[in-house]
Amino acid sequence: MPANITPHRKVKRKSHITEGARQQAFEKSRNRGTCIISGFNDGTVQHLHVLPRATNTSILTPLEWWWGFKTELSVDSRHIQIFLRGNLHILWDRGDILIFPMADVVDIFMDKYKDGERHNILEVICKKKIHRYCVIPHPSLSGGARSRAKRAIRQGFTNGFHKLKFVPSHAQPHFMIMNAAMKIMENKELWVKGLEELYEEIHLKIDASRIVEVILRLHALWTAPPPGEAQLIRKQEHMSVKIFDPW
């Protein structure tokens, strides 16, 4: 496969991302490959996907429909990729870190999709290049209190999550919502608790439980089977545009 071509469907877990796709993510990221949590930009920083590269077609096809794609969703789009230090990457893969979209952004998506219809996702996010997120450690990492997050989270690793308020990233919020929903579904009550502590610490009067429910609702809407006519409509759209990565 040429270096500048990215796969457009599920890929095997052991396959490697193309160098062209990796370079695009590097060039478009804030400060060119800097870890979005620690701020470090050294040899320990690793590259990862918010929406896993091995995401099944049964998920990708509904996303393409409900997000208004006229082309296929490239699993190596630069807007699905972020950079984290190796130790944070481990916590991310374990489901111990959640990078959470801002509450107002979540509500904007819900306002748009509550009609149950298909929408152009780019119009919803207004084509912003950089987005803000909250970082939430799993409550079990710090005994349920962010104020004690200085202590060792895993053997040999500490990180002052309590110092973080917001982190910027070029990764787009609908992908972050999908990732957050998958982690929340594993233990909703604990993640609500973590989000409540975060909102309290940054003095935001937001109902964490409601926002979590909205996240889960969006995930359900976006992964629902497309209507019967979707295949024909997408085929017609496909014929009208050249297949490329619009992201």
Tens digits of per-residue pLDDT, 16-72?
A: 555 555 555 555 555 667 888 888 888 888 888 999 888 899 999 999 999 999 888
Amino acid (1-letter code) at residue 20: G
Which of 221, 40, 206 is closest to 134 using CA atoms? Answer: 206
Would you state the pLDDT for residue 105? 96
- Asked if 48 and 82 count as a contact pair (C-beta separation under 8 A), the reply is yes
Would you state the pLDDT for residue 220? 98
Q: Does 245 fall in a domain? A: no
Would you state the pLDDT for residue 3? 31
Distances (CA, A) of 13 to 10, 156, 160: 9, 28, 32
Q: Does 246 fall in a domain? A: no
Q: Does 118 fall in a domain? A: yes
Would you state the pLDDT for residue 201? 87
Q: Does 14 fall in a domain? A: no
Mean pLDDT of the chain: 80
Would you state the pLDDT for residue 69? 92
Would you state the pLDDT for residue 107? 97
Q: Does 237 fall in a domain? A: no
Would you state the pLDDT for residue 172? 94
Domain range holding 131? 19-225
Q: Who wins on pLDDT, 33 or 84?
A: 84
Q: Does 31 fall in a domain? A: yes
Amino acid (1-letter code) at residue 172: Q
Distances (CA, A) of 73 to 10, 92, 108, 160: 10, 23, 22, 36
Q: Does 207 fall in a domain? A: yes
Would you state the pLDDT for residue 157? 45
Q: pTM for this structure?
A: 0.80
Distances (CA, A) of 169 to 27, 48, 108, 155, 236: 12, 13, 19, 28, 34
For range 108-113, the mean pLDDT: 97
pLDDT at 169 exceeding the cut of 60: yes
For range 139-150, the mean pLDDT: 50
How far apart are alpha carbons 136 and 195 in whole angstroms? 7
Would you state the pLDDT for residue 40? 83
Tokens for 223?
């992964």
Would you state the pLDDT for residue 156? 39
Look at the chain and report how many structural domains it folds into.
1
Neighbouring C-beta atoms of residue 150, cutoff 10 Å: 14
Q: Does 121 fall in a domain? A: yes
Which of 61, 8, 58, 65 is closest to 237 using CA atoms? Answer: 65
According to DSSP, the β-strands at 45-49 and 81-85 are: antiparallel
Helix (H) / strand (E) element for 131: namely: strand 131-137
Would you state the pLDDT for residue 121? 94
Tokens for 3?
């270096």
